[in-house]
Chain A
Amino acid sequence: MENQILTTENLFAHYGDIDTIKNVNVSFPKNSITAIMGPSGCGKTTFLRCLNRMHELTPNAGSRGKIILHDEDLNKLEPIEVRRKIGMVFQRPNPFPTMTIYDNVIAGYKLNGIRKKRIEFDHIVEDSLKKAGLWEEVKNNLHKKGSFLSGGQQQRLCIARALAVNPEIILMDEPTSALDPIATKIIEELIVELKNTVTVIMVTHNLAQAGRVSDYTAFFYLGDLLEFGQTEKVFTNPKNEITEKFLTGKIG
């Protein structure tokens, strides 16, 4: 296959004594969009949160195995370093309520104590907001708090915030599940745009969304990765029986 950016080898994750992700081996191609699918409780969110070491924040949870980004095993790095390389967008938009829109975008710098010239920050803010498709809507209100924004705008602000620190990969955990159809459409179009800049790995429970947006699909069932391949192929000609049942609505 072409250029791989992220590979997991024998990845396991657990809550307490129970393994919720079992021996996952997968490679994500660079500048692509992968949808992670599966019935609820199949471990798709857990898998996603393992990739940037957010999973281990939950008490009694952890993971083992290798997560390789450019020949480097992320499980051997400090979680903080991992999260600086891999951005994340959550189910519900979670902009910082105490900060202005401007400060939200550069939060990754400000909170990490990185100083820059004003003009550099101005460029980063403009660029990130443009990439997130929010610039035109907020350019006159950059120094207001973000609480007046709609849910979809807030989610795009969160995407801008993730983009601003220039990650190679952005993880998205059902990024449109809290949004209305119109906002969802905007975000979906945005995600497709984003693959020019970054690699996107997103969890979605919405088959149609995966079909519209993703290049690749990974299908999880009870903690196992049953199928991974180009979305078109997985959707039209699934190799696994359970995948087929899921795609045709018989489980889920």
Chain B
Amino acid sequence: MELTLSNNNKITISSNSIKYSDNWKLGENIFNSVLTGSGIMIIMIVIGIFLTLILSSLPSIKQFGINFVTGTTWDPVFERFGALPFIAGTLITSFLALLISIPFSIAISILLGEYFKRGIFSGFIKSMTELLAGVPSVIFGFWGIFFLVPIVREFEKILGITAYGIGIFSSSIILAIMIIPFSASVGREVIELVPSDIKEAAYAMGATRYEVIKKIVLPYAKSGIFAGIILSLGRALGETMAVTMLIGNFNKMPTSIFAPANTMASVIANEFSESTFELYTSSLIEIGVLLFIVSTVINLIGKWVIKRMVVR
């Protein structure tokens, strides 16, 4: 590169003299391999997770077959492993939590998606719910032990049943509190997707807001709200720490919604490090496999429904 400074202070850069000394082909190849490699790595991780879980649970699958999911006895001492109490515990806590949370999360969705779309109030509630969605599960569990459980215990005393405090009921309440921010934010998003022209058409015909919400917004957003509920269910099923701290870790079939029980995630959390022989470990992992498959299916269905709605 030559620079010629001539009198009139004009610089002439001599033609085609810029030296491009890069071996960009090598860079290009490395770059593309890194990108593709990272993508493939993520696929391999997921396949690896699945294979690891399946392989490690083979001893238990071979030993118990279908009896694993129908057996009600979980007794490491006699090497008998039936996971039904945990499956039941998981299903009952999750569905109860869903039942408790649905009215609240739909109310918040409508409030933020229809009544207070913008402004300080909605901004405040949005950021608070986001913050709460980020509060670690272990803190919810901790709060549950010291605040929720005593209240539930008093409540059980009034009902005249054994006042454990801990158990399915407390776990469901804490789960409900934990999933409300999430399902409310999904619900708000799908309600905001309702095109405003069809709402305006209804208003123009003299419909009240209640009628618009009931007859236009909710029917339109129905599938999305449903997907939000499905995704919340997926979260509730896999939730570990808060439930582990409140469920009571009782390895028998639950007898009532106030009784202590155990869930699939909690039994793994509690017993995995103590599982001293292969069949025990492998039985715990088989529970993990079931949990993984159920969460994945539920999650993919929920995401698929929402994606379809966004495209529409």
Report A-B touching, CB under 8 Å: yes
Residues of chain A having any CB pair with chain B under 8 Å: 80-81, 84-85, 109, 112-114, 116, 120, 123-124, 126-127, 165-166, 168
Interface centre among A84, A124, A166 (most CB of B within 10 A): A166
Q: How far is the CA of A126 from the CA of B21 in the complex (A)?
A: 25
Q: Which of B1-53 contact A (CB under 8 A)?
A: 1, 3, 5, 10-11, 13, 15-22, 24
A85–B183 Cα distance when bound, in Å, is 56
Pick the 5 closest A-B CB pairs, nearest first: A127-B11, A166-B13, A123-B11, A113-B22, A112-B20
Chain B, residue nearest A81 (CB): B20
22 contacting pairs across A/B (C-beta < 8 A):
A84-B18, A84-B20, A109-B18, A112-B22, A113-B22, A114-B18, A114-B19, A114-B21, A120-B1, A123-B3, A123-B11, A126-B11, A127-B10, A127-B11, A127-B13, A165-B18, A166-B15, A166-B16, A166-B17, A166-B18, A168-B15, A168-B16
Question: How many Å from the CB of B26 to the closest CB on chain A?
Answer: 13
- Which chain A positions have C-beta within 8 A of B13? 124, 127, 166
- Which B residues lie at the A interface, using CB under 8 A? 1, 3, 5, 10-11, 13, 15-22, 24
> Helix, strand, loop or mixed for chain A's interface?
helix
State in angstroms the CA–CA spacing of A109 and B1 once bound together.
12
Dominant SS at the B interface?
loop
CA distance A68 to B5 in the complex (A): 32
Known interface pairs A116-B1, A166-B18, A168-B15; 15 further A-B residue pairs with C-beta atoms within 8 A, sorted by A's residue number = A81-B20, A84-B20, A112-B22, A113-B22, A114-B18, A114-B19, A114-B21, A120-B1, A120-B3, A123-B11, A124-B13, A126-B11, A127-B13, A166-B17, A168-B16
With known contacts A120-B1, A124-B11, A85–B16 Cβ distance under 8 A: yes
- In the complex the two chains form, what is the Cα distance from A116 to B16 in whole Å? 16
Indicate if the CB atoms of A80 and B24 lie closer than 8 Å.
yes
Residue of B nearest to A164 (CB): B13
**A123-B22 Cα distance, complex, nearest whole Å:** 24
- Measured CB to CB, the nearest residue on chain B to A130 is B10
B24 proximity list for chain A (CB < 8 A): 80
C-alpha gap A168/B1 in the complex (Å) = 16
